[in-house]
Amino acid sequence: MTASRGGAPAGVVGEANPPDDGFAYLMSPASVAVAQTSNSKYEVVENWATFPPGVTAWSAATAGADGAAVAPELPAELARAHLLRGDRARAVEWAERAISAAEAGGGGNANATAIDARITLGTARAEEGAAEGLELLRQSIDDADAAGLGRIQLRALNNLAWVTVSDDPQETSRTARRGLELANRLGNREMALQLVDVASIVAIDIGDWDWATTALADASIDGLPTVYRVDFAVTQTVIDGMRGKADASRPIEGIGDLEADLDLEAVGSINHARAVVAMCVGSFSEALELAIAATNGTQGFDEFEALTLAGRLAAWSGDAEGADQSLTALDAHRLWGRAADAARHTLRAAVASLRGGDVASTAAEGEWTAALAAWRELDLPLRLALCHLDRWFLTGRETDQASAREIFERLGATPLAALAAGPARYPLGAQEPQRS
């Protein structure tokens, strides 16, 4: 996974070399202009917050003795730093302090600071699957819009788009496209690239492939940083593979030289794209090897997607053990949301079908029903069609074959429609597992 693909909401990263007076630096215009998420700034704020005068002033402010003793921007910035370093508990703690300080102090930038802190608070809670976190983000979008705070509204839109990607990809799409329009109006290309990235990722499952292809091409006109070159090429390769293009791998093959220190997540994402292309042409053994390789180089959303793909391919290959291993990893994965749960139901159904027997068959039927209902409710046609294809391959149910073919043909997923037109892979007992 690259810096932005499927990860926590990303901020503007840069360098900062603050003076010894950390608080003065934090409150200065120069501080706001540089990266608000840099480790050096985080350390300055952290040190100031634990320095005795800082503790005294903060205690006075939170106790109500002197509401203006500490500017609310201090805890708001520290909350963001904690969030971006993965410490959600402290992000929540400092965001709540910032909100209290802003509400107590009033005047100046208090309203903007309070909204920004609520965005941090909502994001931290939403990343753990708390519904109130999503509501905080939605409300913050409206509050920032009403106050004419475009930059803050854009941050809320970006964060909401990313945290809903495993819950409701349709909401992700709507939110990201709205944010993209705002980013373009504000001239914020970095945020626009992030929003094109996430919107095009979910466009795969939604089936809006023409929009994604156009958006990726338009965003690439002025050149791209490496992380986006990789992300965009991966997404376009998956779309081209689904469409059966003869040169489907051309986008990732054309990425060019990558930095030597590029993290393994970029390589994992590329392996995932190659696995999808191999799957679409029926090379299940090769696709499974690539999907397993992708699980070793990714984390978060990308890791979950690689595990889902590896489990599906193992099941198609009759490898009950391999499919069960992927299912165990999915069940243990911290990714939350309705789409994530639907993926778990799908693979759980496949594993139960592979096991056979009356008890397993009953369990499988319940899981198939839950999975298909979830994909329909989420309005994700590609996932729905793949689930039908899974059940056709593993149980030989002809109604699933017909449903899979109809959806794939409607999407323009020619190679997948051809797979659905082929024979079921049931019974699987006599097949040679292809896992390596």
- Going by pLDDT thresholds of 50, 70 and 90, the confidence category of residue 261 is low
Instruction: Kindly report, residue by residue over 117-166, the tens digit of the pLDDT.
Output: 999 999 999 999 999 999 999 999 999 999 999 999 999 999 999 999 99
Place of tokens 């508990």: 89
What is the percent of the chain with per-residue pLDDT over 90, rounded to a whole number? 66
Please give the CATH number for the structural domain made up of 1-163.
1.25.40
The confidence score (pLDDT) of residue 109 equals: 85
Place of tokens 């409607």: 410
Over 80: is that where the pLDDT of 380 sits? yes
On average, the pLDDT of the chain sits at: 84
φ and ψ at residue 108, rounded to 5 degrees: 55, -125
Q: Where are the domains of the chain?
A: 1-163
Interaxial angle between packed helices 169-186 and 189-206, expressed in degrees from 0 to 180 and rounded to the nearest 10 = 150
Tell me the C-alpha distance between 315 and 391, whole Å: 10
Over 80: is that where the pLDDT of 385 sits? yes
CA distances from 37 to 22, 157, 180, 394 (A): 15, 18, 22, 48
- Going by pLDDT thresholds of 50, 70 and 90, the confidence category of residue 215 is very high
Greater confidence (27 vs 81) lies with 81
DSSP H/E element including 325:
helix 320-332
Give yes or no for a contact between 333 and 300, defined as CB atoms under 8 angstroms apart: no
Model confidence, pTM: 0.85
Closest of 179, 434, 201, 190 to residue 312, by C-alpha: 434
The confidence score (pLDDT) of residue 175 equals: 98
Residue 186, Cβ density class (10 Å: 0-12 exposed, 13-18 middle, ≥19 buried): middle
Give yes or no for a contact between 344 and 330, defined as CB atoms under 8 angstroms apart: yes
Average pLDDT over residues 304-328: 97
Instruction: Say which DSSP state 335 is in.
Output: -
Query: Residue 167, by phi and psi: left (phi above 0), alpha (psi -120 to 50) or beta?
Result: alpha
Structure tokens at 304: 């979950």
Tell me the C-alpha distance between 294 and 36, whole Å: 32
What is the percent of the chain with per-residue pLDDT over 70, rounded to a whole number? 78
